[in-house]
Amino acid sequence: MSTQIRRTARARSLATTATILALTVSGCASAAHRPRAEESSSPSASASDLGSVRVRYRYEDKIDGAKSRIDWEVITGRPHQVRYTITGGFNADGPAIGTYFVYDGRVLLTYQPDGNPKYYVTKHPAKADIPEGLVVAHPDSKAFARLCRKAQRRGEQTVLGRAAVSYTCAPTAVQKAQGAAVTLVVDAATGLVLRAGPLVVRQLQFNPPTTAATFATAIPDDHGYQPLRAFRVPRVGGGQLALHDYRGHPLVVITGDASGIRSLASRLAPLTNNGQAPPVIALLNAVPPDNWKGTLLNRDDTSALAATMSKQIRDLGIPTGIDFKGAAGQPISMPAGVAPGRTRPTAVGFVRSDGTLAEVLTGRASTAQLEHQVTRLR
């Protein structure tokens, strides 16, 4: 991944995050020919001819020797409509999972789960601030020339059930030093890019089902949070912790590692009558150690690992469940920007009595912000 892409990922601003797709794919071109975001070949303009399309992309690379991955989904509608969502990956410097942009042709809605505020609405945004959408590169287009220098056709193949054509491209100096072949694969019928070096299309659907909400640019009243799913997990100190035991009552749920939970629980104690009104519980985001020989698919292995972890963790002051890989707490941790396999930042969800999430904050929230959310639950 180029320095320009790394700098783009670190910025996390509206303009730079929205152009990750264009920059990522442009990384297959030489530095001399790589366009800046505002000078790109406007792949969205060509993509508008495809109508409604849903594409899931993945980009994998190494940054300073560490693996990096970004997954995202693009849905297009009538001309100029686009919904762009970061769906997964692992990259501490990249956009938070759950970040999304919706552009309806006039208004741009931006949601960043670790932002404050989380939502922004921009009327008539600058062209450089609009997500690029799909990438289309017909063999005789300028976009194709930028993506694949000195293209040599390799032949036809089938990708995701579609007839495709593959090309070998002249590598950049960095790619040549790594000894990696640069390949570009495009859909034969539409020119949609299916592979460009480390960029791969993983799912493709033409005319996907959409609703009015798909391209809606109004800030949702419920912030778009998913409700907590029913869970029953091992409890630190013995027994089990189940969401069902708190149904029908407002609830505050902290997710994270032991130190983060302990710190946030102490801050919430004076605001919640020492964790009783509303009740405060925690889900310890537990990652099995590398040398563990068991499997989470085996109940006995899981119970034994939970018992070992419970002995290693002293009382955190509130009921705490051991949440392996953060599965139960994901509706809270994901909007807070916690990447899969990670435990930071510490997140806290304010759950209404009907089980829906009123708000998600992180441990960086001020005491006033925490108190406001607690008051709203009562």
Instruction: Please choose, from the candidates 336, 327, 326, 331, the residue with its C-alpha nearest in 3D space to the C-alpha of residue 111.
Output: 336
Domain of 35, in residue numbers: 3-135+190-206
State the pLDDT at residue 279: 94
3-state DSSP call for residue 270?
Answer: helix
Does the residue 141 lie in any domain? no
State the pLDDT at residue 221: 66
pLDDT tens by residue, 79-106: 889 999 998 887 656 678 888 999 999 9
List, for the chain, all residue ranges whose pLDDT scores fall below the cut of 70.
1-49, 63-64, 91-94, 114-117, 132, 174-181, 221-224, 340-341
Residues 200 and 324 occupy one common structural domain:
no
Residues 196 and 49 occupy one common structural domain:
yes
Tell me the chain's radius of gyration from C-alpha atoms. 23
- Could you tell me if residue 65 is left (phi over 0), alpha (psi between -120 and 50 degrees) or otherwise beta? left
Does the residue 291 lie in any domain? yes
Q: What percent of the chain has pLDDT over 90?
A: 31
Are 355 and 227 within 8 A, CB to CB? yes
Does the residue 43 lie in any domain? yes
Residues 131 and 258 occupy one common structural domain:
no
State the pLDDT at residue 290: 76
Residues 201 and 127 occupy one common structural domain:
yes
State the pLDDT at residue 8: 33
Residues 270 and 194 occupy one common structural domain:
no
Task: Give Cβ neighbours of residue 204 (< 8 Å, ≥ 6 apart).
Answer: 53, 54, 55, 56, 160, 162, 192, 194
Residues 200 and 257 occupy one common structural domain:
no
Task: Give Cβ neighbours of residue 227 (< 8 Å, ≥ 6 apart).
Answer: 331, 355, 356, 357
State the pLDDT at residue 180: 59
pLDDT tens by residue, 281-325: 999 988 787 788 878 777 888 888 878 888 777 778 899 988 888
Number of domains in the chain: 2
